[in-house]
Amino acid sequence: MDMSGEERIAAPREAVWAALNDPDVLKACIPGCQSLTMKSPNELEATVKIKIGPVSANFSGEVTLSNLNPPESYTISGEGKGGIAGFAKGGADVRLTEDGDGTILSYDVKAQIGGKLAQLGSRLIDSTSKKLATQFFADLGAKLNGGAA
């Protein structure tokens, strides 16, 4: 699965960068995130509960930040296992560009899934992924503007 897009966030680039590197902010914004802890400055451990169509699973895995170029870009990659539901692994290149008093966040995602999830069909996976991305960016924008996520 490949997905790309961009979102305008009404906050300065440095604030968006800080939020994207803050485990508490990320935990509040990632749909279904049960836990997110820093193992090192570039490694996080996560547990996420997600439902795609008829399949519901708890995924646990590790996330790594690389190609760090603060406050402009980084690559986030990870792999999660969801028991009989299957696995998910992939990464995203994230870029932040100043836009007046806001920030344009651009992303390119490449992911692979296996197990029961892979049997659901690409249309369901793609539409669910877009919905989860939309929710994440709405929550991130609300968090950066002082609202509750």
- CATH number of the domain at 2-146, out of 1.25.40.10, 3.50.30.60, 3.30.530.20, 3.30.379.10? 3.30.530.20
**Cα 25 from Cα 6, distance rounded (Å):** 19
Q: Taking the domains of the chain in order of start, what are their residue ranges? A: 2-146
- β-pair type (43-52, 87-99): unpaired
Convert the pLDDT of each residue in 15-58 to its tens digit: 999 999 999 999 999 999 999 999 999 999 999 999 888 888 89
- The answer to whether the Cα torsion of 37, 39, 41, 47 is positive or negative is negative
pTM: 0.89
Average confidence (pLDDT) over 54-76: 94
**Cα 13 from Cα 71, distance rounded (Å):** 7
Convert the pLDDT of each residue in 92-111 to its tens digit: 999 999 999 999 999 999 98
Q: Quick check: 26 and 17 in contact, CB under 8 A?
A: no
